[in-house]
Amino acid sequence: MPTHDLVVIGAGPGGYVAAIRAAQLGLNVACVEEEQALGGTCLRVGCIPSKAMLEASELYSMARSHLAEFGVTMTAVSLDLPTMLKRKDGIVSQLTKGVEGLFRKNKVTRYFGHGRIKAAGVVAVEGKEPQEIQAKHIVIATGSKSSPLNGVELDGTHVVTSTEALSFTEVPKHLVVIGAGYIGLEMGCVWKRLGAKVTVLEFLDRILPGMDSEMAAEAQKVFTKQGLEFKLGTRVTSAKYDGQKCIVECGGSEPIHADKVLLSVGRYPNADNLGLDVVHVARDSRGRVQVDQLFRTTIPGIYAIGDMIGGPMLAHKAEEEGVACIEGIVHGHCHVNYDAIPGVVYTDPEIASVGKTEDQLKEANVPYKKGVFPFMANGRAKALGQTEGRVKMLAHAQTDRILGVHIIGPRAGDLIAEAVVALEFGASSEDIARSSHAHPTLAEVMKEAALNVDGRAIHM
């Protein structure tokens, strides 16, 4: 039986990063992955292809509706969806092959097949070439799957999850999105920009639950202005394709007809045929594997990271945990700062956030100061023609330590990195306010928001 020091099950951002880190630290590492392409949901059918489509649809929308404002006129703009999809697939292929290259460089042995834990120290690889492998340490990094919803009949073509919604071969006339979370808004924005009518049905009375509520309300206003239709407080009871159209029923109102329906009401840990019950790895009521600070499960030698355990289901959170888990195995200690994990919704404009929301501070009775600065007053945003949104910085009322930063606006997902570093270093708003930010850049909004924590923004 092939023997390794460590085997990782799953080659998503958590798993492949853990495998590489373990190899860097001198372990003999294997990784079992059932998909041909490495990289997991994120690279194959998640973050990366969706961003390729977001960028492409943004350019199309720019060319169609906004380039004239810049003095660039075009006689005809048309959509070439097959090329857009081909480009997206090309980017995915380059990146998944890149992970293969990284495995080769780091001498990580890849096993192609479904990994199932047979016992502590033994993983069965099931598939074309079934075999068993032995390893002292097993890391579970199998990610998550789209949550189903009672009454919603997924058929892979008309009533679909995000995987299929990334590859519609025609622009739907009317797309109904169930769930106003990350996936629903990102995919809704893509197809809206490509010409679809988009209706978003959300069970709660707000969008983006968990995000700062003031910023979520502002985002909803912006998206509504762009033409997205929201029906909040709407409970979907059924959705199916009747052979001609999709019919979506919501308690108490008229059925909605559409040609495509996207179900995006969350994800759940992927423990399919993983052997967790056989080896008695403890899980909570939502199927998440229970781990301690060293990512150890209740069974010695078995660890879990990423979407399989608690916390936000984000690729970069899984990566941090992958590295920390391995360093814990090798060095006996490790740390992930969950207060400094950013969340980004890649819509247009983007929404980004790190640290505490204003709602959380209020609820915990933490005294805070707030500095807000709009992109409208930023020169670079004006030049870009993207002035919607603002930055909100929250700092402790007495110590001035930054507690949370929330941004809606152009490239918010890149701008939030400064706030993440500030939180990691325990910075005060004064620290950011006194740091020179190049002019003219979007990043100046961060400095101005920091200045405004004490009411001294210059350009407002």
Summarize as ranges the residues that interact with ligand NAI (CB under 6 A): 149, 178-184, 186, 201-204, 209, 235-236, 264-267, 312-314, 344-346
In DSSP terms, 7 is beta-bridged to: 30, 138
Q: Minimal distance in Å, beta carbon 337 to ligand NAI?
A: 18
Which of 125, 265 has the CB closer to ligand NAI? 265
Write down the catalytic residue from 66, 280, 335, 439. Answer: 439
Locate 52 and state its tokens: 């390729």
What does the buried/exposed string (b/e) look like for 67-78 if buried means 16 or more CB atoms within 10 Å of the residue's CB? beeeeeeeeeee
Residue 264 C-beta: closest distance to ligand NAI, Å:
4
Instruction: For residue 331, indicate whether it is catalytic.
Output: no
Q: Are 324 and 334 in contact (CB under 8 A)?
A: yes
- Least spacing, CB of residue 312 vs ligand NAI, in Å: 5
Rounded to whole angstroms, the Cα distance separating 305 from 43 reads: 17
Sorted by sequence, the CB contacts under 8 Å of residue 302 that are 6+ apart come out as 117, 120, 138, 140, 279, 281, 296
Q: Which residue of this chain has its Cβ atom nearest to ligand NAI in the complex?
A: 181
Cβ at position 62, least distance to ligand NAI in Å: 21
CA torsion angle 191 193 196 197 (round to 10): 110
Q: How far apart are CA 169 and CA 439, in angstroms?
A: 43
Reduce the DSSP state of residue 274 to 3 states and report it: coil
Q: How far is the CB of 175 from ligand NAI (least distance, A)?
A: 15
SS3 content of the chain, % helix, strand, coil (to 5): 35, 25, 40
What is the residue-wise DSSP string for 140-201? Answer: E---EEEPP-TTB---SSSEE-HHHHT--SS--SEEEEE--SHHHHHHHHHHHHTT-EEEEE
CA–CA distance, 325 with 274 (Å, rounded to integer): 20
Query: Is the Cβ of residue 263 or residue 325 nearer to ligand NAI in the bound state?
Result: 263
Rounded to whole angstroms, the Cα distance separating 384 from 387 reads 8
Q: What is the CA radius of gyration of the chain?
A: 23
Q: Least distance (Å) from ligand NAI to the CB of residue 41?
A: 9
Nearer to ligand NAI, 180 or 423 (CB): 180
- Are 453 and 373 contacting, i.e. CB atoms less than 8 angstroms apart? no
Nearest approach, Cβ of residue 427 and ligand NAI (Å): 24
Place of tokens 């992927």: 270
Which of residues 149 and 198 has its CB atom nearest to ligand NAI in the complex?
A: 149
62 DSSP assignment: I
Comparing CB distances to ligand NAI, the nearer of 41 and 452 is: 41
- Identity of the residue, 144 or 429, whose beta carbon is nearer to ligand NAI in the bound complex: 144
Q: Which is nearer to ligand NAI, 248 or 330 (CB)?
A: 248
End-to-end C-alpha distance for the chain, whole angstroms: 69
Point out the residues that are catalytic: 439
